[in-house]
Amino acid sequence: MTEFVRLEVTGGIGVIRLSRPPMNALNMQVQEELRAAAHEASARSEIRAVVLFGGEKVFAAGADIKEMADMDYVDMTARARDLSSAFDAVARIPKPVVAAITGYALGGGCELALTADLRVCADDTKLGQPEIRLGIIPGAGGTQRLPRLIGPAKAKDLIFTGRMVDAQEALAIGLVDRVVPADDVFDTAVEMVKSYAKGPAQALRAAKAAIDGGLEMDLASALNWESQLFAGLFATEDKNVGMKAFIDKSKPEFTGR
C-alpha cells in the first residue's frame, strides 16, 4: 500500500489520486509512488484511460522545498534523473491521460499536469513554474514539455518570470484545454475519458505513440514511424470491428484487442 498516491479503477478508468495534505507537496516519496502508480496503470489491461487528480482543493503546489533546501550539487546530481524519470513514467502511460486540476498547479505540480495528454482546470486555478524565484529552474520536464505545448516564447515568459497564470490565460495560451467551475473539474475529466475507455485501446495507444514519438524525430523519420504504427493496427480485432461496423452502419463494440 502506498501512503500518498492511490490508483483507483472504475469502469475502465484509472484515477491516480494524490493525497498529501495540505498542498500535495511532491517529495521523494510522492515521486516514487507516482512512478509506481504510472507503471501499474500502464500494465493493467482493464485500465483504458487515466485521470490525474490532486483532490477538490489543490492539484499540487510544487516540490517539497524543505526537503530540497539542504541538498547540494552532489545530492541533486544523484536525485535529478530519478525525479525526471518518475514524471516521465506518467507521461509514458500508453493510454489517454487527462489531468483534473483544482487550486494550484505550481512548479512540480505544473510539470505533473504537463505529463497528461489533456488538461481541464477549475476557473479559479493558478498555474506556473516559479522555480526561478528560488534560484533554480524546473527540473521535472518543465523546460521541455512546456515549450512543446505552448511554444518557446510563451514558455520562456513563464519560466523566466516565475509568474502564475490564471485559468483564462492558461486556456488562451494552450496550457489547459478546458475551464469549468471548481466543483465540476473531476466529473468533467471523467466524462472526457469515458469515450476513450470504450474506444479501440490499441489504436489509442498507437495514436499517442505516433504523436509523442514523432515530436522527437525529423519529419521523414516521424512519417515512417506513423506508417509502421498504422500498418500494425491491421493485425488487431478492433480494426475488424470498427470497419465492419462502418460498413454495416452500426455502432462498434471495441474489445481492446
Predicted confidence (pLDDT) per residue in 19-69, tens digit: 999 999 999 999 999 999 999 999 999 999 999 999 999 999 888 899 999
Residues of the chain with CATH 1.10.12.10: 201-248
State residue 9 phi and psi, 5-degree precision: -125, 125
Predicted confidence (pLDDT) per residue in 63-86, tens digit: 889 999 999 999 999 999 999 999
The CATH architecture assigned to 201-248 reads Orthogonal Bundle (1.10)
Comparing CA positions, the residue from 161, 145, 127 lying closest to residue 59 is: 127
Calculate mean pLDDT across residues 225-245: 97
Residues of the chain with CATH 3.90.226.10: 5-197
Active site residue 131: yes
Predicted confidence (pLDDT) per residue in 138-197, tens digit: 999 999 999 999 999 999 999 999 999 999 999 999 999 999 999 999 999 999 999 999
Asked: is 5-197 a CATH 3.90.226.10 domain? The reply is: yes
Question: Catalytic: which of 8, 40, 111, 237?
Answer: 111
Question: Catalytic: which of 32, 40, 67, 131?
Answer: 131
Predicted confidence (pLDDT) per residue in 89-130, tens digit: 999 999 999 999 999 999 999 999 999 999 999 999 999 999
Quote the pLDDT of residue 1: 67
